[in-house]
Amino acid sequence: MKKSLFIAVALLLVSTRVTYAQVSETIIVKGDPDKFYPVIFQDKGWPENVATELEIGRSNVHVDVPAMSWQGSLIAKFRIHTTRWGNGSEFIDADIKQYFSQFRPLVAGWYDATGYNGSHNVIIWLRGGNLPYSCKSQYGATPVVYDGVQNALPFKEQIGDTGFKDHTYKTALDPYVPAQGGAVYKFGADFGGIVKTFNLFQNNGLVLHGFPGYYADISNNLYWDNGWKYLAAGPANLFKVGEHNTKSDFAFYTAPVGTTPGATANLLEAMRICENGNVGIGTSTPGSFKLAVEGTLGARRIKVQQTPWADFVFKPGYQLPSLDSVAKFIATHQHLPEIPSEKEVQEQGIDVGDMNKKLLQKIEELTLYLIDQQKEYRSMFESLKKENQELKAQLSRKK
């Protein structure tokens, strides 16, 4: 018995380990509902040489003041290791899943506030408006809310012995923060990895979203909001591989400058490649055209291969229309023969290659008319010259 007790005590002395229970607490972030306020958490795992694991949650979208106001739900997990005077190996990994409606996202950013001091402070900006958040950490994160009500703004980060850096509320998400679900990040805005959540792959602005058998989306600065719509974090773009109705199409969209962050994206289709290979620029329906452009097309050079060409006008046997017949046609139809009318052009457009051929044909016909006219002039000139010489000879004989 004594021997067993001695062994147990020895093992305890050799492998002494402090076990911490998960510590849960609830905070309320007051202030305005359209602002994100800095909440200070502690990296208490630092002295234990492990990362602090912090969970922040709002499972019920109605846990609000007032109740039933649909402020949103949130499940977020942070793994934190601060630098503390520049020790290095610091990171903040964030896995965020949130649903939001009236006031949009609940987390706006995070920051290691220990770069120039020996504190354990980590700042996470949470949306205000009397919103409660449940916080849990293996060591107790000791949250302190700076919302201008419970504690005055700004929070002052110690910089060296005498300096301070102010941190106040945010009104928009930092660029590295996902509006909804699935992103994992390192410290600051550095990319730390991509995780998959319900067919959503997302990192710093890049979103890969798909629906098996229908489409796959690749976007920048857009966030999937279910209900078949995207939210924009500012100017954005989207590439869709397939759609619900046309599963084989490729479509390119843009959201213009001035798009409100967090608002439904006003996507404009810029270009589409249809399943038959036809391309539309500025139009989603190129029809039978291989390339349809809605707008002005500018180019330094365009080469069109066209056969047959209009040189048949110069070949023997070509029946050149008489000028009288051309004049009669123009008087009746108000356009040249074989050239489309104004109405036809307005309704059907023109084939550029075919039109160039027809215009060249008319130029070559005009050339033949000029050649014939030149022949007539020369014949008349020679005839007049001969008559003039004969008259001069007669006058000379009379003298």
Q: Summarize the confidence of residues 305-321 as an average pLDDT.
A: 87
Give me the pLDDT at residue 14, please: 43
User: Does residue 265 have a pLDDT over 60?
Assistant: yes
- The answer to whether position 367 is within a domain reads yes
The answer on 155 and 30 residing in a single domain is yes
Give me the pLDDT at residue 362, please: 92
CB 109 within 8 A of CB 197: no
User: Which candidate, 283, 262, 261, places its Cα nearest to that of 271?
Assistant: 283
Give me the pLDDT at residue 185, please: 41
Distance set, CA 272 to CA 31, 108, 245, 355, 396 (Å): 46, 35, 14, 28, 88
Measured over the CA atoms of residue 69, residue 72, residue 78 and residue 82, the dihedral's sign is negative
- The answer to whether position 398 is within a domain reads no
The answer on 250 and 161 residing in a single domain is no
Residue 391: pLDDT band (50, 70, 90) is confident
User: Which candidate, 143, 145, 108, 110, places its Cα nearest to that of 130?
Assistant: 145
What is the residue whose two structure tokens read 């992103």? 183
Strands (DSSP E) found in 60-195: 73-81, 91-99, 107-112, 121-127, 131-137, 144-145, 155-159, 163-167, 183-185, 191-194
Q: Summarize the confidence of residues 67-89 as an average pLDDT.
A: 85
- The answer to whether position 12 is within a domain reads no
What is the residue whose two structure tokens read 């051929």? 357
Distance set, CA 3 to CA 12, 16, 165, 210, 233 (Å): 14, 20, 60, 64, 68
Pick from 293, 327, 348: which residue ends a domain? 293
Per the omega criterion (within 30 degrees of 0), is the bond before 154 cis?
A: yes
Give me the pLDDT at residue 183, please: 47
Give pTM, 2 decimals.
0.48
- The answer to whether position 185 is within a domain reads no
CA gap 224, 180 in Å, rounded: 7
Pick from 146, 167, 188: which residue ends a domain? 167
- The answer to whether position 51 is within a domain reads yes
Span 159-215, pLDDT tens digits: 988 899 999 999 988 877 766 554 444 333 333 333 333 334 444 355 666 655 567
**Could you list the residue range(s) of the whole structural domain that residue 210 is in?**
198-293
The answer on 109 and 230 residing in a single domain is no
The answer on 134 and 85 residing in a single domain is yes
Hey, what are 347's tokens?
Answer: 């309704």
User: Which candidate, 305, 268, 274, places its Cα nearest to that of 292?
Assistant: 274
The answer on 343 and 286 residing in a single domain is no
Hey, what are 176's tokens?
Answer: 């590295």
The number of domains in the chain is 3
Give me the pLDDT at residue 216, please: 77
- The answer to whether position 181 is within a domain reads no
- The answer to whether position 193 is within a domain reads no
The answer on 348 and 217 residing in a single domain is no
Hey, what are 336's tokens?
Answer: 């040249």
The answer on 112 and 24 residing in a single domain is yes
